[in-house]
Every structure is written in structure tokens, then in C-alpha cells.
Amino acid sequence: MRAAIAVAIGCGALVRAGLASADEPVHASAALDYATPKGASCPDRTAFTSAVATRLGYDPFDGADAQSKTLRVKLRREGATLVADLRVTDALSDVADKTLTSEQGACDELVAATALAAAMLLDPRAMFPKPRPAAPAARGPSLDSRSPGTWPWYEPPPLPRERPPEAPAPKAEPARVHLGVSALGCVGCAPAVSSGASVFAGLSKGRFGVELGGRADLPASASSPSGREVSSSLVLGELFPHLRLGPVRPGLLGAAGALFGQSGAERQVSAWAAAGARVGVELPFGDTFFLRGTLDGLFVLNRVSLRVDGAELWSTPAFVSTLGLGAGVRL
């Protein structure tokens, strides 16, 4: 029933809206004559007026004494059916009318539908959204973005900066093998300052390297406090893990081998081991050859004493230092 009422109201209101004069005021106004059947629990005049005002957005019955239009709403019963008669009249004749029914006799629903129909009969234009007013046309010359001289303050947009080509990722440095020889001088390795030589071979990649070496010192001799001549020499193997920081090569150093001591016809061979640090500096010549210098500081792990007939002729110190100068090649 609600759908039928709404469709009927909409059709009737739109037909009458098309016939309405374009000179009608913005807000319609009318006097209201509202009547309900006796004994029926229907909304009163105030409720009906509020329902119409809610739909229109204003009260069309406020101050309607000076208006010539009248809305007459009469609710009546025809058996179990409730009927609502709507009629809009002016001073001369009827302007519009409408009849709504509720077969279930539901007065609240019928009055709600009647209020909607009354709103559409009085002011159908208020039931639809009003178009927004057009924006005022801009005065003066139009801005032409293709003509930089049109406006004194016009500045063309900056062109996007070209990104420089990305540099290719650096290739990983391959592991390289190096070989070389060094001349050595040592303080503390023998009773006197000794000299010797070493050979070395290593592997390096990036900032890290490791090196193995073999070392042999020439005998160096000195007189003991007892007046006897005593000499010694070293034969060692070395391990040198290190960092490669530009030309500098700091790292740890371990050495182990044998100490050969002699005094006259007496000979003595003893194990010798030490640990400490080495700092090296390499000067490359091209991609293949290099010169290098090294400075070692070692703590002797097993001190050795050279004895003849129970008398100590010489003993290794706790700390020894070696200076090396050499050259090598990279493969």
C-alpha cells in the first residue's frame, strides 16, 4: 500500500508541477483546514503541520492569513477503510486535489503519506535538490599556459632534472696470490744483532689477507760473561693474518721453529716459539710488483738458555724485534 501511495503521489505532483506557473514565490504558503474522524487516534493538526514542514524545509502554514490559497485535509472512514481527501483551493477555484486510502485503517501511516502529498501539492520544487549556481565568469584575459608573456608573473614550470646514469656496481675484487722475499735484521734473536732472509706467499681478497713464510737467520756471536764465544741462529715458520687498509698491513704474527746454539765444539738445538704483531707497508709498482717493509714485535713463549758444563752462556730475552725489507709479485 505504501509503494502504491508513493507512486500515485509522485505522478500527480509531477504533473501539477509541470502546469505550475514559473512566477510562484520561492516558498509556498496556504491556510490549513485539517479534520479527522471522531474517535480515531490520528495525529492532530500540529503533528500534521510539523510533518509537512519537515518535508518542505519550512512551514507553509505560518502567517497564511494574508494568502489566498487553502489546503483542506479531511480524514474519513468508509467501513474498514480510512480515506484522506486533499484539496488545494484559491479564491476562484480548486487548484489541485488528491485522495489517499488505507485499507488497513492505519491512521498514522495514512497521515504520513498525506503530509508528503500535501508538501508536493503546495511546493513540488522544494522536494528536489536545487542546482548549484554557476560560478561567475572570470574577467580579463585568460591565462594561456602556452604563452609565457600573457601574464607578467607567469613562469614556465621547471623541466624535470635528468637523472645521471647510475654507475655500475663495482665488481668484487678477486682473490689474488702474492709471492716475495725479504731481508731481515733482528734484535734479541741471537747473542748479537742478527741478519737473515725470508720467503713468503699469501692470499688476499678485499680488505683481508693471510700469509705463510719461512725464515732463516745467519749465526750471530758474542762473548759470554765467562769469556767464551757463543753464537745462535733461527729457522722458523711464520703465519701472518692481516688487514689491508690502503698500503698498510696490520695483523697478528706467530712464529715457531728451532734455535741452533754453539759454543766451541758444543752444539745445542732447542724449540723456539713466539707470538705478537706485525705492521707492514706495501708500495705497488703497477698491478704486479710491489716493495714492502715490515716491523715485527714478538713475545718469546719458551725462553731458551745456552749452557756449557752447566754454566749459562746466553739466554733468549722475553721480547724480540725484527725489521724486514723485501719485494714481491702479485699473480
Reference 91, options 70, 119, 77; nearest CA is 70
Rounded CA-CA distance 87/33 in Å is 10
Reference 273, options 260, 261, 252, 258; nearest CA is 258
pLDDT at 98: 85
pLDDT at 137: 63
**Cell numbers representing residue 160 in the block:** 624535470
pLDDT at 11: 47
Which amino acid makes up residue 180?
A: G
User: In tens digits, what is the pLDDT along the chain, a chain of 331 residues?
Assistant: 444 444 444 545 444 444 444 444 567 788 888 888 887 788 888 889 998 888 888 888 886 455 668 888 998 888 888 888 988 887 666 677 888 888 887 888 888 899 888 888 888 777 666 666 676 665 655 555 555 555 555 566 777 788 888 888 777 778 999 999 999 999 999 999 999 999 999 999 989 999 999 999 999 999 888 788 999 999 999 999 999 999 999 999 999 999 999 988 889 999 999 999 999 999 999 999 999 999 999 999 998 888 887 788 889 999 999 999 999 999 9
pLDDT tens sequence across 152-186: 555 667 777 888 888 887 777 789 999 999 999 99
Complete domains list, the chain, with CATH: 2-13+26-127 (3.30.160), 176-330 (2.40.160.20)
pLDDT at 233: 95
Reference 239, options 217, 214, 272; nearest CA is 214
Rounded CA-CA distance 164/177 in Å is 37
Which amino acid makes up residue 325?
A: L
Q: List, as own/partner pairs, every contact residues 10-13 make where C-beta atoms lie below 8 angstroms and the sequence separation is at least 24, other chains included.
A: 10/120, 12/96, 12/98, 12/117, 12/120, 12/121, 13/117, 13/120, 13/121, 13/124, 13/127
pLDDT tens sequence across 54-81: 888 888 888 645 566 888 899 888 888 8
pLDDT at 81: 86
Report how far apart, in Å, the C-alpha atoms of 232 and of each of 34, 206, 227, 236, 270 are: 136, 40, 16, 13, 11
**Cell numbers representing residue 36 in the block:** 479527522
Record the pTM: 0.49
Which amino acid makes up residue 266?
A: E
pLDDT at 211: 96
pLDDT at 26: 64
